[in-house]
Chains A and B, each alone.
Chain A
Amino acid sequence: MREDALVAVVRRMAGGDVSALDTLYRQLERPLFGFIHSKLNDPFAAADILHEVFLEVWRGAAGFQDRSRVRTWVYAIAWRKVVDEFRARGRVTIQDEMPDRPDEGPSALELLQTAEERDMLRDCLGGLKADHRAAIELTFLEDMSYREVAEVIGVPEGTVKTRVFHAKALLLRCLEAKMNRRARA
């Protein structure tokens, strides 16, 4: 659905049209759930947060400003709730090392074809800091611009670009290390 159509849906919600909430839910529910679930790795908690996000969207529809895109606005609500959940769980960062070399080429990726190798990528993603992971997933899975990502996660645009760069480099290095270990085994 195009942005202007999504804005129209939110306007209808602001006027109390519950069917518009259905429309927005059907548009955004799956990718939004995927986004939340990938951060929490807990489908029940993710479903609860998804529910809370749409309730907040419904209650806040009248306050939606055209300064944001609808998708960015909704994801920003989701991200805030995920961060709250992290805080409630006292989640700690697993991996926070910056790469010590510049961007890599595609060598490790060229070999990643099998299910086992895709599991490697998931492991590597799971090792990223939550804010690095959010930045690269919004960039590559949701195809958001760095301006939109900045709005969703509430940091400056420069920080987003840096986080995506580092997340990409960390993933490549992690994948390469896993591939090398497997080759030696």
Chain B
Amino acid sequence: MNPAPFDKAKIAELVPFWVNGSLTDEEAEALAREFERDPALHAQVQAARQLRALMRASALPERSPGDFGLARLRRAVAEKPRAPASLRQSAAAAAVAAAVTAGGFTLVGWGSPDEGYTQASGPQPAAVFTVSVRDAASQAAFADLLLANALTIVDGPSALGFYRLALVAEAADSDIDAARAALEHASDVVELVETAE
């Protein structure tokens, strides 16, 4: 048994999509039956076909950015490389957790690599290490590692997933070596440790 016929409004609404060939097989078959029932509908199809052809013929050949646009895009991508999503997400969450847990720091934004933390009591300390965190490392493990070694995040994660770490204000300069050793030892959490520039 054939389905109920379409009303005229529905037919008129489907004609443009009949003309561009995007209807489902079921819709197209149903519409074809309507065209058989009422040959006058062919005028609608013809009008839609002609309008489509005219729109295509009238589309101005705009000069698209082409290779210049691609070069611009490549530059933008190279300037702000993207971290893999998993690292980016876990790293951001770990940074938030660490900052909140450590206290005394205020998260001011994640929108830009230039933004980071401002110390509530004054300027932020200078970074002493740059580290990257393993994809598989948990937020808690990273936060615990920082807390246990008097470290705090002063910048990051960067687009590549790097953090810049500083010693908290109360720590002595001599703690740097111990902190470095602890970071390097925690190879299940930290992938890379470099002296911050």
CB neighbours of A104 from chain B (8 A): 47
Q: Is the CB of A165 within 8 A of B13?
A: yes
Q: Is the CB of B22 within 8 A of A165?
A: no
Within 8 A of B (CB), among A26-60: 26, 29-30, 33-34, 37-38, 43, 46-47, 50-51, 54-55, 58-59
Give CA–CA (A126, B98) in the complex, Å: 54
Q: Is the CB of A139 within 8 A of B77?
A: no
Q: Is the CB of B16 within 8 A of A165?
A: yes
Known contacts A106-B46, A109-B54, A168-B48: A34-B59 contact under CB 8 Å: yes
Decide if A164 is an interface residue (CB 8 Å cutoff). Answer: yes
Within 8 A of A (CB), among B29-79: 43-44, 46-48, 50-52, 54-60, 62-66, 69-70, 72-74, 76-77
Q: Is the CB of A121 within 8 A of B58?
A: yes
Decide if B111 is an interface residue (CB 8 Å cutoff). Answer: no
Q: Is the CB of A143 within 8 A of B50?
A: no
Q: Is the CB of B73 within 8 A of A21?
A: yes
Decide if A161 is an interface residue (CB 8 Å cutoff). Answer: yes
Question: Chain B binding site: helix, strand, loop or mixed by DSSP?
Answer: helix
Name A51's contact: one of B21, B56, B72 (CB within 8 Å): B72
Known contacts A106-B50, A137-B55, A144-B22: A33-B17 contact under CB 8 Å: no
The contact size tier of chain B is: 35 or more
Smallest beta-carbon distance B122→chain A, Å = 34
CB neighbours of B69 from chain A (8 A): 25, 29, 33, 47, 50-51
Decide if A141 is an interface residue (CB 8 Å cutoff). Answer: yes
Q: Is the CB of B16 within 8 A of A121?
A: no
Name B20's contact: one of A15, A51, A139, A165 (CB within 8 Å): A139
Please report B residues at the A interface, Cβ cutoff 8 Å.
8, 12-17, 19-23, 43-44, 46-48, 50-52, 54-60, 62-66, 69-70, 72-74, 76-77, 82, 84-85
Chosen A-B contacts, 10 in total, with CB atoms closer than 8 Å, are A15-B84, A18-B77, A22-B70, A50-B64, A109-B50, A121-B55, A144-B22, A146-B17, A168-B51, A172-B51
Please report A residues at the B interface, Cβ cutoff 8 Å.
14-16, 18, 21-22, 25-26, 29-30, 33-34, 37-38, 43, 46-47, 50-51, 54-55, 58-59, 62-63, 102-106, 109-110, 112, 118, 121-122, 125, 136-137, 139-141, 143-146, 148, 161-162, 164-165, 168, 171-172
